[in-house]
Amino acid sequence: MSLNLPPRYSHKTGFTLIELLVVIAIIAVLVAILLPAVQQAREAARRTTCRNNLKQLGIAMHNYHDTHNAFTFGWNQHGFGWSAMILPQIEMNNVYDRLHFRESGPGNWNNLGSAGNQTAVGIVITVFRCPTMAQPETIYDTNHQTDRVPASYRACASGTAIYDWDNYTPSGEEWLYNSPQNGICYGASATNMRDITDGTSNTVLIGESYTDPVFVQDRVTPDVWTIGSFQIDAWDINADGTPTSGALSGSNEFTEFVGSMGAPMNSRKFASTSGFQKQAAFGSYHVGGGNLAFADGAVRFVSENVDFELYKRLGTKSGGEVISDF
Amino acid sequence: MMIRLSARFAHSLLSLLAILCFGCGPNSTAKLSYDSLGLTEVTGVVRLDGEPLEGATVSMVPEGSFSGSFGTTDASGKYRLMYTSEKSGVTPGVKIVRVSTADKGAESAPGKERVPSKYNSKSTMKVVVPANSSLEWNIELDSSNGKVNAPEVIKEDR
């Protein structure tokens, strides 16, 4: 009986163009609905990983405090950052063992022939990197170390500082070079838990940063790295922590390891802020704010629209200010 | 108007479409909006005693501040003032102009100074930069005479 039917009703498999277009249209609508949701879910997962990283670093800082009875310094006169000191606490003893803590000779950051410190800064340690950060694993830094690893997290040195270098002479606490600073981790610091009189839940220990080693404004760059830097070695300080006058053999790029609450959160995302604020400020590649680890170990996502006076108070460890809920 | 497509072909076409739709997510660095700043483009040539000055930093910075726009001269003395590495221009207002071959910023070692100090560390050259404009200013430096030419739009503010 099928022999007399027109070809249209034959049993050959196939789609008409209309059917195909309808299917494509339906799929397009579904994709348009689902894609943003999927991407948001992926970003939420990355943000959670970032919070977890900060939590791990906060716990590592506490373990360091238990061992040494003080939080680690933000940076020291040998060119090392806080992240180098807690390597044993994050099970990176093998990297820690490669480091040379010396003023001169092999291992000095200025000596480009030394292998230990130079190779250590090229090792990718994922706990120091927020997965949302749109930066490559290593960057060839021609001026200084080759193949450095951009990092996401910096210790909080201050609630007031904006500048880090000595070519300018801003007053007192605006200047990271001045030591002691009013945060927890600054130059050659050894802050004990009892020094945090504002309360550990009201004081920021580590914050997320908007790392971007390519961007330049006011001739400074918001670059953040792990372990140590050529550009801090050697930072000349007296025994009491005050800077010596002049005669610097290194540079003062302290913001590679510490940030400051003295610059508004996410300054990098606003054109009107200065290059110094963009460099010193905490921030993130997430939308609307950034994660901050407090000295009690808690990690909170703080909005970039938070009251700036309140935000600054969170950076000082013993300012005696009243902190309202945020 | 009837096209026969094999089911396999249609299937692969749809898969391809789906893959195309799931591209890379938004994952680039921040796009800043500079429109509200009213930046004015400033370019030109720097000459010291008539000779093009190479490797000099030209800066326009408000008095008492360290934040402004900077540019570096090339082999023919040309400069362009940059607000950030991605955006050129100078914010409007009163600025102090400095030209130096020594001051290369915090992250580079200082060079040898070839420009008299009256043009950099002791500079009193003040200019008023208008908003949303474009200027070409050839800076003629004289190692004996402290005066600097200023174009019509950028007037010395005295």
Question: A73-112, pLDDT tens digit by residue?
Answer: 998 878 889 999 999 999 999 999 888 887 554 446 655 5
| Least trusted range by pLDDT, from A6-10, A317-321, B115-119 | A6-10
The runs of H, that is alpha helices, within chain A are 17-68, 82-85, 93-96, 116-120, 275-280, 308-315
Query: What one-character DSSP code corresponds to residue A174?
Result: G
Sequential pLDDT tens for chain B (158 residues): 445 555 555 555 555 555 544 444 444 567 889 999 999 999 999 999 889 999 999 999 998 888 899 999 999 999 999 999 999 999 999 999 999 998 777 666 667 888 888 888 888 888 899 999 999 999 988 887 655 555 544 544 44
Pairwise CB contact (< 8 Å): A27 & B17? yes
What's the rounded Cα separation, in Å, for the pair A284 and A272?
A: 18
The answer to whether A169 contacts chain B (CB < 8 Å) is no
Tokens of B14: 């749809």
Contact between residue A225 and residue A253 where contact means Cβ atoms under 8 Å apart? no
Pairwise CB contact (< 8 Å): B84 & A20? no
Chain B residues with CB-CB distance to A274 below 8 A: 66-67
Domain that holds residue B113: 37-149
Q: What is the pLDDT of residue A232?
A: 77
- Nearest neighbour of A215 by CB, restricted to B3, B33, B84: B84
Q: What angle do CA A58, A64, A69 make, to 5 degrees?
A: 120
What's the rounded Cα separation, in Å, for the pair A151 and A127?
A: 9
Residues A2-8 have a mean pLDDT of 55
Q: B residues 99-118 near A, CB within 8 Å?
A: 103-108
Give a yes or no: residue B31 inside a domain.
no
What's the rounded Cα separation, in Å, for the pair A285 and A134?
A: 8
> Residue A4 pLDDT more than 70?
no
Neighbours of B123 (CB within 10 A): 20
Give a yes or no: residue B62 inside a domain.
yes
Give a yes or no: residue B15 inside a domain.
no
What's the rounded Cα separation, in Å, for the pair A62 and A59?
A: 5
Give a yes or no: residue B110 inside a domain.
yes
Chain B residues with CB-CB distance to A14 below 8 A: 4-7
Which residue(s) pair with A260 in the sheet?
Answer: A158
Contact between residue A101 and residue A254 where contact means Cβ atoms under 8 Å apart? no
- CATH code of the domain in which B128 resides: 2.60.40.10
Chain A residues with CB-CB distance to B18 below 8 A: 27, 31
What's the rounded Cα separation, in Å, for the pair A278 and B89?
A: 18
What's the rounded Cα separation, in Å, for the pair A259 and A190?
A: 17
Name every residue whose Cβ is closer than 8 Å to that of residue A76 and which is 6 or more positions away in sequence.
Answer: A187, A188, A235
Helices B7-21 & A17-68 angle (0-180, nearest 10): 40
Q: A residues 223-282 near B, CB within 8 Å?
A: 231, 251-253, 268-272, 274-276
Pairwise CB contact (< 8 Å): B106 & A165? yes
User: What's the structural domain count of chain B?
Assistant: 1
Pairwise CB contact (< 8 Å): A167 & B21? no
Give a yes or no: residue B17 inside a domain.
no
Give a yes or no: residue B13 inside a domain.
no
Residue A152: which of A127, A120, A176 has the closest Cα?
A: A127
pLDDT tens digits, residue range A240-272?
A: 555 555 444 456 788 999 999 999 999 999 999
- Nearest neighbour of A251 by CB, restricted to B7, B10, B106: B106
pTM above 0.95, yes or no: no
Give a yes or no: residue B136 inside a domain.
yes
Pairwise CB contact (< 8 Å): B27 & A134? yes
Tell me the residue ranges of DSSP E strands in B9-50: 41-48
Tokens of A176: 């990271």
Pairwise CB contact (< 8 Å): A221 & B107? yes
Residues A170-189 have a mean pLDDT of 78
H or E element at residue A293: strand A289-294
Sheet holding A289-294, edge to edge: A258-260, A153-158, A204-208, A289-294, A299-303
Residues A13-40 have a mean pLDDT of 93
Neighbours of B142 (CB within 10 A): 16
Pairwise CB contact (< 8 Å): B32 & A134? no
Question: Could you give the ipTM of this predicted complex?
Answer: 0.81
Residue A178 DSSP SS3: coil
Give a yes or no: residue B158 inside a domain.
no
Residues A265-291 have a mean pLDDT of 94
Residue of A nearest to B82 (CA): A217
Amino acid found at A271? A
